[in-house]
Amino acid sequence: MCGIIGAIANANVVPVLLEGLQRLEYRGYDSAGLVVTDSGLKRLRTPGRVNDLSKLVEQQKTQGVAGIANTRWATHGEPSERNAHPHFSAEEPLIAIVHNGIIENHEHIRNYLKDKGYIFLSDTDTEVIAHLIALKLKEVNDLFKAVCLATAELQGAYAIAVMEEAHQESIVVARHGAPLLLGVGKDGNYVASDASALLQVTRDIIYLEDGDIAVLSNHGYRIVNCLNSQFGEPVNRIVHESHLSNEEIGLGSYSHYMQKEIFEQPIAVANTLEMLSNAQSIAPNLFGSEAEKIFSETRQILILACGTSYHAGLVARYWLETVAGLPCNVEIASEYRYRDPIADPNTLVVGISQSGETADTLAALEYAKRLGYRHSLAICNVPESALIRQSELRFLTRAGPEIGVASTKAFTTQLASLLLLTVTLAKMRNRLSPEAEQRMLEALRHLPVALQNALKIEPEVKIWAQSFAQKHHALFLGRGVHYPIAMEGALKLKEISYIHAEAYAAGELKHGPLALVDSDMPVVAIAPNDQLLGKLKSNLQEVYARGGELYVFADADSQITSNDNLHVIRLSEHAGLLSPILHTIPLQLLAYHVALVKGTDVDKPRNLAKAVTVE
């Protein structure tokens, strides 16, 4: 889960590497490092962040016309300078490597290399690749061939960029199971984990595919694919023009990406549902040309996802069962991939992921296919991602780049997409009258405005955040379709404020967790005016009667009034099926403002990274 970048040009590339690393820092921020050509290969590494690396560069006046760099999320070996990339092969010929991914057979290769006398200076799996390439290089005396031979022995996922001290006129890159793209520039060529890192120099992007190995020089590039032959077959990969704008990837007037992304939700949802703006009806082809046929055969849904995306799946289960009348299972991808479920070929498998790179979700989807599931749909925010490519049907959440580690706009756009899926399936199953279809279209078109209104409660939430920030634990309660929203609220709070938070279905409280309730345990409840409101109020009474302090997000018509230990913030009147989407907003704002009061690193919470590309 690192970010990597490489550049080879006619001028100093160090500023390009540093700017690129800043853009990639969301992928990991345990350490940073670079290698550039400077007569030999000059390496700078820091256990700190990219800003610390920039200071080192300045102090040492580091320059070079070719280089590779990495911002790391530690997997093998603690975050430290010793484990920071780039890694060198300790023996001649000297090569340097940066890597994103995880090598599963690194132990085996390490032992083999140790037997050959190689000495390891770090605990990383990456250093294993460095030595293996160096060993092959001794045999074939050509870096490109050495990378072909070495990568053929690797199991796992990797995107690598490699330089050789003796041949500084090229960089060799390879990908398998981790994203990597080339940037074709006027005065040089580039490689990175994601396009945002390269916009500073070019918009011409080539997405490498699994098995691709490319050689970059300052005047060109050559790509081969090595899946079926030792030194690869030349391949032509299309050059795409990236339409990412600097506004989309910059902070603008906001203090944090999370804040920006919370407030972008109305426009993110509007973009995601743009195709409905003039639509008279809802059509399955929004999900792909084969969708009508596949949906007509669908008898059940299986959703696979992790984290926040899993919570979106849990909400969708209520909608799919109630509105579309389809049985639905929602599985945590990391668990599903190690179970022995029974496949029903008439099930549509839906993978939900912001990044489309989450290793567990990708593996669970592949596992489901092997078990005999025939049809898959990706709901994803990244068009060129592995999830999109692995799935038969696709629906893009057009949230724009989500950079804050805590997922916000990806979640609400996933929910909007899943509601659209539900309504589409309901229509195809004759469970939606033409009038109901028109009402749903209206509701979905109104959603961005409703989100805008929900954001207006921020000043009230800010006040709550002051007292919340003093607490060490919190309970989140919801019922029915709002229970997963409570789970999402608890995840947001713990993720960025480090306050321990747990979510419970409110009816479960008396079966155990009520024992935790005292004046030090704030209890957050989501109280929409739905058919479960009466039941929820009884559950809240159980808390109140035991001296618990309640923080309730209610609908305007929920008829709950503030009291001594009962604080209420009201949203709009009950929004029917849209209610869980709107009730997400106050919980995101609460987590954000509590984190601000606590002074945590909101966009880069400790120990985490944005795209979890390892198991």
Which positions touch ligand M6R (CB under 6 A)? 306-309, 353-355, 358, 361, 405-407, 491, 495, 611-612
Look at residues 205, 202, 154, 146 and name the one whose alpha carbon lies nearest to residue 178: 154
Q: Nearer to ligand M6R by C-beta: 143 or 611?
A: 611
| Nearest by Cα to 92 from 138, 126, 53, 55 | 138
3-state SS, 301-358, equals: EEEEECHHHHHHHHHHHHHHHHCCCCCEEEEEHHHHCCCCCCCCCCEEEEEEECCCCC
Distance CA 397, CA 271 (A): 8
Say which residues have a Cβ less than 8 Å from residue 179's Cβ, sequence separation at least 6.
100, 159, 193, 194, 207, 357, 384, 385, 386
Q: Please, which residue, 158 or 411, has the CB nearer to ligand M6R?
A: 411
How many whole angstroms separate alpha carbon 178 and alpha carbon 99?
A: 10
Pairing status of strand 549-554 against strand 566-570 = parallel
Return all residues near 306 (Cβ < 8 A) that are at least 6 apart.
332, 333, 334, 353, 358, 360, 361, 612
Q: Which helix (H) or strand (E) holds 378?
A: strand 375-380
User: What is the rounded distance in angstroms from the CA atom of residue 26 to the CA atom of residue 403?
Assistant: 6
Q: Which of 145, 260, 409, 610 is catalytic?
A: 610
Q: Which two tokens stand for residue 386?
A: 């592995």
For the chain, how many residues are written?
Answer: 615
Measuring CA to CA, how many Å separate 161 from each of 14, 416, 553? 16, 38, 49
Which 3 state secondary structure label does DSSP give 67?
A: strand
Identify the DSSP state of 84: P
Residue 226 known to be catalytic: no
User: What pairs with residue 505 in β-bridges?
Assistant: 478
Cβ nearer to ligand M6R, comparing 125 with 495: 495
Neighbours of 197 (CB within 10 A): 30
Catalytic, 610? Answer yes
Q: 566 has which bridge partners?
A: 550, 563
**Minimum CB–partner distance for residue 151 and ligand M6R (Å):** 26
Do the bridges between strand 188-192 and strand 3-9 make them parallel or antiparallel, or are there none, so unpaired?
A: antiparallel
Q: What angle do CA 76, 77, 83 make, to 5 degrees?
A: 110
User: By beta-carbon distance, which residue lies closest to ligand M6R?
Assistant: 307
Nearest to 354 by CA among 316, 320, 388, 389: 388
Per-residue tokens: 281: 């009806």
Two tokens, residue 597: 């009061």
The Cα-based distances of 542 to 244, 514, 564 in angstroms read: 51, 8, 15
Enumerate residues 6+ apart whose C-beta is below 8 A from 514: 542, 543, 546
Q: Is 408 helix (H, G, I), strand (E, B) or coil?
A: coil
Angle at 598 between CA 596 and CA 599, to 5 degrees: 60
- Our CB check for ligand M6R shows the closer of 127 and 495 to be 495
Contact by Cβ (8 Å): 499, 592: no
Q: For residue 278, give both structure tokens.
A: 């003039």
Can you state the angle between helices 409-428 and 434-454, rounded to 10 degrees? Answer: 170
In which region does residue 141 sit, left (phi positive, over 0), alpha (psi from -120 to 50) or beta (all else)?
left
Of 168 and 417, nearer to ligand M6R (C-beta) is 417
Q: Is 139 exposed, middle or buried (0-12, 13-18, 19+ CB in 10 A)?
A: exposed
- Between the alpha carbon of residue 583 and those of residues 74, 76, 454, 525, the distances in Å are 35, 39, 8, 10
Q: List residues with catalytic annotation.
A: 2, 610
